Structure 1
Amino acid sequence: MKVSHVSETIHGGIATYLNEIVPKQLLEKSYEISLLIPENQTDCISFNADTMTFKRPKRGLRCLFSLFMSYKRLLKKNKPDIVHIHSSFAGIVVRLYHFFVSKNKPILIYCAHGWSFSMTTGSLSKVIYVLIERFLSNYTDSIICISKFEKNLALMNGLPEDKLKVIYNSLSSQVPKPEKVDVQIDPGNLNFLFVGRFHEAKGFDFLPDIFNELGSNYQLYVAGGARLDNEYDHEVPANVTKLSWLNQGQLQYIYESIDAVIIPSRWEGFGYVAIEAMRSGKPALVSKNGALPELIENDVNGVIFELSCSSIIEAIKKVDKQKLQCYGSEGYKMFIDNFESGINYKILKELYERLGYEKK
């Protein structure tokens, strides 16, 4: 079976997903795997596979046209049986292509990795995104939702239930080898970690004022930062340390040095950082938004808070190191039972095989 993974961008969660799933597929003798990804993002993948690229200096019509033409070349060269589409814009390009060209259409599996209409505040923009997704669902064989929250959101917005399949994102139980980071983390403090972009969706903007109020006994370490033009690089108080972007080994070193992660997201289709923390035996303090309550059970493997400065401060002040260690132990058990990559890879493989069988 020939499988091609196509994505308009792979930064962040999509890269994590591909780095977990594709190496397993490459070990399968029955699969031939290829990728179509941006030319300037190939360093995000950690495996060797047949990879075609397209030019993506920034998102726009030129980028989408480049993806369209490259996809056309991929079809001619590889003749895939399954095209597994990642990200909303790749979903538009690939499925529109097959709207116009129906001959020899491969099986199309689509995962938005977070619905565009869930992160859109303008009512007109949201309606447009919904109408696009509804229309293009007619040219999709299966739509993978990365959480129950994402599936419910799709149903609420009129996507066909018979095409929706929940497959949680997942991680290998084997953690990356820690790589030392040049930072001093005092175990006498309560140390928190924020991982991600300074995008409005991730809610980092709450944290500088919160930690300024909490004082020096509470420390926040920030792995990430502003990546896009619309992301503001916030000023931070003395008890907030910016580490910039870290590789997986460096990030693992920080996970092992802190007490808990904090995820104050406004929108979250899944929450990779939460399960990365769980895998490392660390708890997560999370907002009640999106899929995060599917990953964190309040007062069991972390804390769920309302998204306001006062509620976040209250959540932080109610925990101590002993309680966080108990949460972390429970979180590791929940990770092994629900989010270890072997479990969810098996579900994805069964989906591929079922769709391939139905097409014969």
Structure 2
Amino acid sequence: MLKIVHLLDDFGMGGVVRALGVFDEPELARGASSDTVPIARNAYVAPKLDADVIITHFPASWARIGFFWTLRLRNPKARLIHIEHSYTRSFEHHNVPNTNRFRMLLRLALRHFDEIVCVSDGQRKWLTGAVGLEPGRCRTIHPWSGRQELLAIPAPERRSGRPLRLAAYGRFSEVKNFAALIDAVAKIGPSVELQLAGSGPDEADLHRAAQAASNITTYGPISDIGGFLKSADAVIVPSKWEAFGLVATEARLAARPIIVGDIDGLPEQVGNAGLAAKCDSADDIMRAIERFQTLPFDQMSHAARQEVSGMRGQIIGQWIALLQS
């Protein structure tokens, strides 16, 4: 049996921690045991590990160069896999003043890994194109949501004359672009309602902005995703950057059509289940919502669940193929 060790430095990253659940699924657990080892953020030297496969789940940085290099030196027989949960073309656009230096960092930090798992095709194309990683080392495996119970939620019913009920949830921070979303829905008025849930550094500002609009309701963190989605017709994800976007996956599992920003891995989730559109500003989001309302809702709802129903088997199969290769 393979021994897999996962290295994490932030257990507060809910999507990353939840994605580890795929290794507990019976099909994978039969052939591989998985343990998780916490890594201090100021660790400069990697530990020596009793593992056949070591998987890192935190992003590269200049401070981490030594850690990534010593991971290979101290574990010469282990297979090293890095999952890139964070960096994307749009992340670079919004956050990186010197792209040449940033791309050099990624090439140097990841050079000793046997495989790089990208969480979306958009991310993979950026890493192998603009960044210059070898295509043969990079493959796409979408992240695991682990919320199969959402498949049992009844599909929404749109009634004529009733407001379109949108839901959005996630970390209340700049990346999610919720301030522009609140502005857009407030401007549209009573024909659209928004339920917004989450917490984070922008929490006070977002709650304050939403209070001025009667068609917006805000909540704190939610544990019952299914209960939250039941009261929504559709889900909107207007992020500024998003490697994949598990919120959109969860919406599709619950048969909710999606409106997503046309960036990074989000458009890959749309298919016939909604709309990918520019969502940079409040005006962009308004136009996206207006366009969405002209599309065939019942067809999008059906496609949302149908197109994601086989995702579990696909992800597990891809991980089995990688570990057995």
Quick check: 1:283–1:302 contact (8 Å CA) kept in 2?
A: yes
Deviation at residue 83 of structure 1 after TM alignment: 0.5
Between the aligned partners of 1:84 and 1:203, the Cα distance in structure 2 is 31
Is 1:239 aligned to 2:222, yes or no?
Answer: no
Q: Report the aligned-residue RMSD.
A: 2.9
Specify every segment of 5 or more residues in structure 1 that has no aligned partner in the other structure, as ranges. Answer: 38-53, 56-62, 180-186, 355-360
* Alpha-carbon spacing, 1:325–1:16, altered in 2? closer, same or farther (3 Å): farther
1:284–1:296: 8 Å Cα contact kept in structure 2? yes
Q: Which has the higher contact order (CA 8 A, sep 6+)?
A: 2
**1:130-167 alpha-carbon deviations (Å, 9 max, x no partner):** 11210122210000011110111101211111100111
Specify the code of the residue in structure 2 equivalent to 1:251.
I
Counterpart in the other structure of 1:274: 248
1:88 aligns with one of 59, 69, 75? 59
Maintained 8 Å contact 1:177/1:252: no
Task: Give the conservation status (yes or no) of the 8 Å contact 1:172–1:342.
Answer: no
TM-score, L = length of structure 1: 0.76
Match of 2:163? Answer: 189
Tell me, yes or no, if structure 1 residue 209 matches structure 2 residue 211.
no
Please tell me the residue identity of whatever aligns with 1:244. G
User: Secondary structure of 1:80's match?
Assistant: coil
Match of 2:100 among 119, 123, 127: 127
**Cα distance change on mapping 1:164 and 1:272 into 2, 3 Å:** same
CA contact (8 A) 1:25 1:33 kept: no
Q: Deviation digits for residues 14-44 of structure 1, max 9, x if unmatched?
A: 122113x13216962332211023xxxxxxx
* Pair 1:306-2:306 in alignment: no
> 3-state SS of the aligned residue for 1:165?
strand
What is the Cα deviation at residue 324 of structure 1?
2.6
Could you tell me how far apart the structure 1 residues matched to 2:9 and 2:16 are?
A: 10
Aligned equivalent of 2:86: 114
Q: How many residues align?
A: 307
From 289, 302, 310, the equivalent of 1:329 is 302
Call closer, same or farther: CA 1:142–1:27 in 2, change over 3 Å.
closer
Paired residue for 2:29?
28
**Corresponding residue of 1:348:** 319
* Cα pair 2:60 2:109 within 8 Å, conserved: no
TM-score w.r.t. structure 2 length?
0.84
Amino-acid identity (%): 22
Runs of at least 5 residues in structure 2 that lack an aligned partner in the other structure? 154-160
Q: Secondary structure at the match of 1:119?
A: helix
Report the AA paired with residue 83 of structure 2. Answer: C
2:70 aligned partner, one-letter code: Y
State the Cα distance separating 1:196 from its structure 2 match: 1.1
Q: Give the Cα separation in 2 of the matches to 1:142 and 1:289.
A: 24
Cα deviation per residue 1:236-276 (whole Å; 9 max; x = unaligned)? 123221111111xx111111210000111121211211111
